[in-house]
Amino acid sequence: MRTTETSAHWGSYLVDSDESGVVAVRPHDGDESAAAMGNVVDGVRHGSRVTRPAVRRAWLEGGPGPDDDRGRAGAEYVEVEWDTALDLVAGELARVRSAHGNEAIFGGSYGWGSAGRLHHPQSQVHGFLNGIGGYVRSVNDYSRGASIVLLPHLVGAPAAADVRQRPVSWTQVEEHTDLLVTFGGVRRSNGWVVPGGQTRHVGGALARSAARTTRVVSLSAQRDDAMDGLDAEWVGVMPGTDTAVMLALIHVLVVDGLADEEFLARCTVGADRVRAYVLGETDGVPKTPAWASAISRTPAERIRALAHEMAAGRTLVNVVYALQRGERGEQPVFAGLTLAAFLGQVGLPGGGFTHGLGSMGDYGVGRVAVPLPTFGQGANPVPDHIPCARIADLLLTPGADLPYDGGSLRLPAVRLAYWAGGNPFHHHQDLRRLRRALARLDTLVVHETHWTATAKHADVVLPVAASLERDDVAAGNGDTRLRASPRAVPPPGEAREELWIFGRLAERLGSSHDHGLDARAWLERLYEDWRSTGRAPAGAPAFAEFWETGGVDLDAPPYDDPVFTAFVRDPEAHPLQTPSGRIELWSSSLEAAGLADVAPHAEWREPRRWWGSADAATYDLHLLCNQPTHRLHSQLDMGAASRSTKVAGREPIRLHPADAAARGLADGDVVRVVSAHGSLLAGVHVSDALLPGVAQMHTGAWYDPSAPEVADCVHGNVNVLTPDEPTSTLSQATSGAHVLVRVERYDGPLPPVTAHEPPPLTRG
């Protein structure tokens, strides 16, 4: 038996392995909040592993070209030798490049594959594609796609970066904050995840410790959104309606004389116009607590009292990421910042505005993010790009102009997409539409560890080694240690490192990127570059010793001067990078953009579809689609922890007892869930932790289209239900966090779940 350390986005663990493979994966001693994501042991050697290069038979025989059959359930794949597969991929890249140019290759490849610094799939695929002349890229992310674009308009780009990198920390909350008002949950399970992983899970522990001194009010549609130990007061709010509640809180501050006029006058612009809007002077609708209550179902009296509580002491307004993953998702962020400004506490220790406490384990840990060894990607000569959530528009409407951030982007005609390290059938919305979009491609190449739905839509699938099967180094943002993550077990079958695959393709195509080294030599080079350019901590040992001892402590000092908070109160000395140098509650750059759907100030508009709309007659439940507790996105969904949550073999749907009773449903029943975009089967779990009228399912169940006569997905992938509609023309981000649905009992014969099975394979 051998023990090694492994790093994943869900943390750093000890791996016990022997000749039979991985025997156990255990947390480090003292990691009391280790993630309950024990999917690795049986997930990594599951029958759904891709073990040989495989080519879709129809593409192999018919050649490249658009194909409505791409992704058809049961479509056959032919397993081929590596040389054959590499020749096919190189030949197709060469054809597309010479016939259509590099702007016909999409390499955005969004996703959360592997935490390692070397084998990070996006760095690998981008480096390779840059080396052969470039690719159409994607910008922003699915996490904060709306606020990434919005916040620079309001506080300038550097301060917007600080809102992510150096926010008010949990330690400052513990020391200074009387009241933390969080819109959306501070969830224990979300804090387990950090891009790049974490040496020890600290986010949850810091939050619990902060709660000893700080009162927490959680505004959410779910009581258990706030982790145990926070002892939070739950205030119910219907999904997608927080902006109305925030405007009403501002209304009370204004009317009851609690707004900080001195701060507003000195450090912000536009407060007068916001005041006129909330008082109803501009549209005849005063944004009173009673008005907000009719929209949000939050009791008006609780809103009124909360405004007074917020003004009475040091208050921090937190808006979690999920709120901006909805129609006009910029608005709750805009309104949250505006509310914090009216309280006048932005820039006071422990006060003001945060955007992500509880969303990610590295948020607010209070440590400076230090530079880490990085695999260089080179330069991309192709200028074309999309906001990542517009992938289906890119493929369905080549040549169209996409409005974005006040300008517009011309969508190029893409023929070939190359995906490594992401699962669009997990992350994208309206999967019927995504399938129509992928059908337009000549060729889809996918690198995968497992036969995901994305792999099952590919024309060529190349099998890659998983994190446990290769040497790497890892650390997260603000982490305290750079860890060696040595290979624990060999890869199965013929799976190879991405590094190897791109090296072989580069030999065939010629490349300006350096593909000459093997993994160990690359690691040594990345590490020694880092050391010799002064980015490593003083006294960091040479590579051999680092590898031998398993890591090096990082010099990530605590920050006690979040720049956003410190500077913002003195705009004369430290102007923000906004046109006025101040926080823009009325943004002159948004005003200049003149968008129909985003005003220059925080604003409530009725969503196209929501619980109060005409659609609600057909679709009468508001479904929350949030991050899964027992897995990272869709990864290792076949593993034990993820499986343990399933009901009747399907992804569970939580329903309020009143909603379950009205439909004659009980725990364990199977239901059909239907939206305007698609349908799925799910297993019922009745819970009074929800508001009536609200249902909840986690993202990440593998897409299973094998019985379309029953439902688009018989396993419960929520993204068959969600709309592929942008947040707004400003940010063009995903709006997949919620959708209106109808839930009905399903009594028909239960189709088997085949999502975790490989496709039919034959040897070529």
* Torsion sign over Cα 690, 691, 692, 693: negative
Considering only 5, 103, 162, 242, the residue that binds ligand MGD (CB under 6 A) is 242
Considering only 102, 143, 380, 732, the residue that binds ligand MGD (CB under 6 A) is 143
122 binds ligand MGD (CB under 6 A): no
Of 33 and 423, the one with the shorter C-beta distance to ligand MGD is 423
CA distances from 229 to 16, 225, 514, 546 (A): 32, 12, 50, 38
Instruction: Report helix, strand or coil for 538.
Output: coil
- Helix (H) or strand (E) holding 150, with range, is helix 145-155
Listed residue (5, 11, 51) closest to 476, CA to CA: 11
Binding mask 93-132 for Mo ion (x = CB under 5 A): ----------------------------------------
Within 521-550, the residues that bind Mo ion by CB under 5 A are none
| Pairwise CA distance, residues 597 & 594, whole Å | 9
| Pairwise CA distance, residues 654 & 473, whole Å | 39
- Look up tokens 């140019």; give the residue: 101
Count of residues in the chain: 764
Binding segment (CB under 6 A) for ligand MGD, from list 69-77, 233-241, 602-610, 704-712: 233-241
187 binds ligand MGD (CB under 6 A): yes
Considering only 43, 53, 71, 113, the residue that binds ligand MGD (CB under 6 A) is 113
Could you tell me the two tokens for 428?
């994208």
For 311: left if phi > 0, alpha if psi spans -120 to 50, otherwise beta; the answer is alpha
Binding segment (CB under 5 A) for Mo ion, from list 143-151, 357-365, 458-466, 561-569: 143-151
Spot the catalytic one: 13, 59, 112, 547.
112
Considering only 114, 143, 214, 734, the residue that binds Mo ion (CB under 5 A) is 143
Spot the catalytic one: 77, 110, 142, 586.
110
Virtual CA dihedral for 78, 83, 86, 90, nearest 10 degrees?
-120
Q: Residue 137 — φ and ψ, nearest 5°?
A: -110, 175
Considering only 13, 106, 112, 334, the residue that binds ligand MGD (CB under 6 A) is 112
Number of chain positions touching ligand MGD (CB under 6 A): 64
- Our answer to whether residue 112 is catalytic in this structure is yes
Q: Which residue is nearest to Mo ion (CB)?
A: 143
Residue 184 contact among ligand MGD, Mo ion, none, beta carbon within 5 to 8 Å by kind: ligand MGD
> CB 313: neighbour CB atoms within 10 A?
13
Instruction: Report helix, strand or coil for 718.
Output: helix
Q: Residue 737 — φ and ψ, nearest 5°?
A: -75, -20
- Look up tokens 């909805």; give the residue: 326
| Pairwise CA distance, residues 600 & 128, whole Å | 41
Of 511 and 627, the one with the shorter C-beta distance to ligand MGD is 627
625 binds ligand MGD (CB under 6 A): yes
464 binds ligand MGD (CB under 6 A): yes
| Pairwise CA distance, residues 638 & 755, whole Å | 9
Q: What angle do CA 505, 508, 512 make, to 5 degrees?
A: 75
Binding segment (CB under 6 A) for ligand MGD, from list 96-104, 568-576, 588-596, 716-724: 716-724
724 binds ligand MGD (CB under 6 A): no
Type of residue found at 18: D
- Our answer to whether residue 527 is catalytic in this structure is no
Binding segment (CB under 6 A) for ligand MGD, from list 21-29, 247-255, 415-423, 558-566: 415-423
- Min dist CB 719 to ligand MGD, Å, is 5
728 binds Mo ion (CB under 5 A): no
Considering only 629, 645, 706, 729, the residue that binds ligand MGD (CB under 6 A) is 629
Listed residue (170, 340, 338) closest to 269, CA to CA: 338
Instruction: Report helix, strand or coil for 502.
Output: helix
Provide the 8-state DSSP code for 80: -
Considering only 394, 420, 519, 623, the residue that binds ligand MGD (CB under 6 A) is 420
Binding segment (CB under 6 A) for ligand MGD, from list 39-47, 217-225, 406-414, 563-571: 217-225
Residue 675 contact among ligand MGD, Mo ion, none, beta carbon within 5 to 8 Å by kind: none
214 binds Mo ion (CB under 5 A): no
**Which segments of 284-367 are extended strands (E)?**
315-319, 352-354
User: Which residues of this protein are in contact with ligand MGD, per CB under 6 A?
Assistant: 111-114, 119, 121, 142-143, 183-185, 187, 189-190, 192-193, 219-222, 225, 237, 239-240, 242, 320-323, 325-326, 359-360, 420-423, 426-427, 429, 447-450, 452, 464, 498, 624-629, 632-635, 699, 718-719, 722, 736-738
Active-site positions read 110, 112
User: Which residues of this protein are in contact with Mo ion, per CB under 5 A?
Assistant: 143
